[in-house]
Copies of this chain bind each other. A is one copy, B any other.
Amino acid sequence: MKKLVTAPETVVEDYLRGLALAHGDLLDVHTNPNFVLRADRPALSGREPQVAVISGGGSGHEPLHCGLVGPGMLHAAVPGPVFTSPPAPQIQAATMAADEGRGVLMIVKNYTGDVMNFETAAELCELDDVEVASVLVADDVAVEDSTFTAGRRGVAGTLVVEKIAGAAAARGDDLAAVTALAERAAASVRSMGVALRAGVNPNLGQATFDLAEDEIELGIGIHGEPGRERVPMRPAKEIIGSLMDAILADFEAGEATAADGDVLLFVNGMGATPDSELHLCFAHAYDACTARGIAVTRSLVGSYVTSLDMAGVSITLVRLDADLLAAWDAPCHTPALVRC
């Protein structure tokens, strides 16, 4: 199980050190406890204070969340150990450091540990008079309840909620308005993924699950949690068709069934899937939308919400009303995502 790792016990710190060295213009990386802050804080840059949008969770999903810190997106990110939620005092330290006096919105992926630790951190911060709100992301339509989750899992749609909340904060919205827009974004996003090969956990030195050489797992979680079913390997067109069927059925079962408005199609690599395959999958997902009369008007293709070096892909579909669209289209400048 070969990986580019120097010492299993310092993978998070080694990653953060690289992030700090490569992106010192954008990021201010703290250790012990570990968190990443925007470098252009008001006192340093002279800009107006904003609501601080923060997120975090277990490591192993990079560039989420630390690589998405910067103007127009996250104010801070809190990386836990690999696949392990950061403890509340670590989240508290990041929240206190990120607050610019206008309150903090926590964007939390729906895993039991994250929900509990972010909630405890919020309570601790409120004792210090920092106003905190939170939005839960639970976009994975694959399964209800899972290894680490009650309800649906939060997966690649988290990036979309972070981008939209960050745009609202950047234009000066107050905490209630940033939170309301982030909640609408979280309600508008649906995702589902597939694994061709498990990632390797550097702490354990072994694959996070086993998959036969001719087998794939539909509906995989970003920690390798079980999905809907294991099926024999098949052409990408059929695999993407299955994911799209599940996502579109879920949209149609809910309220957001109107085919009008804008739609973002986001094809996300799980860590070891090359760009050519992601674009090939984008074409198939686009076709599935077209076949149902859905016009895709925005796109994102890349490996943003990964599961170590898992081979596979997830599809995220987002319905964007005019407000969400404007926030999605707003500029941002982070290590992993730049929009002019």
B62 touches A275 (CB 8 A): yes
Asked if A28 CB lies within 8 Å of chain B CBs, one says: no
Residues of B within 8 A of A235 (CB): 5-7
B18 touches A280 (CB 8 A): yes
Residues of B within 8 A of A18 (CB): 278-283, 286, 301
Question: Among B199, B267, B283, which residue has its beta carbon within 8 angstroms of that of A17?
Answer: B283
A280 touches B4 (CB 8 A): yes
Question: Among B22, B277, B313, which residue has its beta carbon within 8 angstroms of that of A301?
Answer: B22
Copies in the complex: 2
Of the stretches A42-50, A98-106, A303-311, the one at the interface is A303-311
Shortest CB-to-CB span from A151 to chain B, Å, is: 27
Q: A229-248 CB contact bits vs B (8 Å, 1 = yes)?
A: 00001011101000000000
B280 touches A5 (CB 8 A): yes
Residue of B nearest to A199 (CB): B274
B22 touches A272 (CB 8 A): no
Assess A63 versus B275: contact at CB under 8 Å? Given A281-B18, A282-B22, A301-B22: yes
Residues of B within 8 A of A11 (CB): 276, 280
Residues of B within 8 A of A313 (CB): 4
Q: A241-262 CB contact bits vs B (8 Å, 1 = yes)?
A: 0000000000000000000000
Q: A117-134 CB contact bits vs B (8 Å, 1 = yes)?
A: 000000000000000000
A23 touches B299 (CB 8 A): yes
Residue of B nearest to A214 (CB): B2
Q: Give residues of chain A (16-75) contacting chain B, Cβ–Cβ below 8 Å.
A: 17-19, 21-23, 59-60, 62-63, 67
Residues of B within 8 A of A280 (CB): 4-6, 11, 14-15, 17-18
Of the stretches A141-149, A154-162, A168-176, A331-339, the one at the interface is A331-339
Alpha-carbon distance between A311 and B272 when the two chains are bound, in angstroms: 8
A contact residues, range = 35 or more
A19 touches B279 (CB 8 A): yes
Assess A276 versus B59: contact at CB under 8 Å? Given A5-B235, A284-B6: yes
A279 touches B62 (CB 8 A): yes
Question: Among B6, B67, B306, B311, which residue has its beta carbon within 8 angstroms of that of A237?
Answer: B6
Q: Sort A-B residue pairs by CB-CB distance and give the 4 closest, nearest first.
A: A18-B279, A272-B272, A18-B283, A4-B277
Q: Return 30 A-B CB contacts under 8 Å, by A number.
A: A2-B233, A2-B311, A3-B196, A4-B280, A5-B235, A5-B236, A6-B237, A15-B280, A17-B283, A18-B301, A19-B279, A21-B299, A22-B267, A22-B286, A59-B276, A60-B276, A62-B274, A199-B274, A271-B275, A272-B272, A272-B273, A272-B309, A274-B306, A275-B306, A276-B308, A277-B309, A301-B335, A309-B311, A333-B340, A338-B340
Known interface pairs A2-B196, A6-B237, A271-B272; 7 further A-B residue pairs with C-beta atoms within 8 A, sorted by A's residue number:
A4-B239, A4-B281, A5-B277, A19-B279, A67-B275, A301-B335, A303-B303
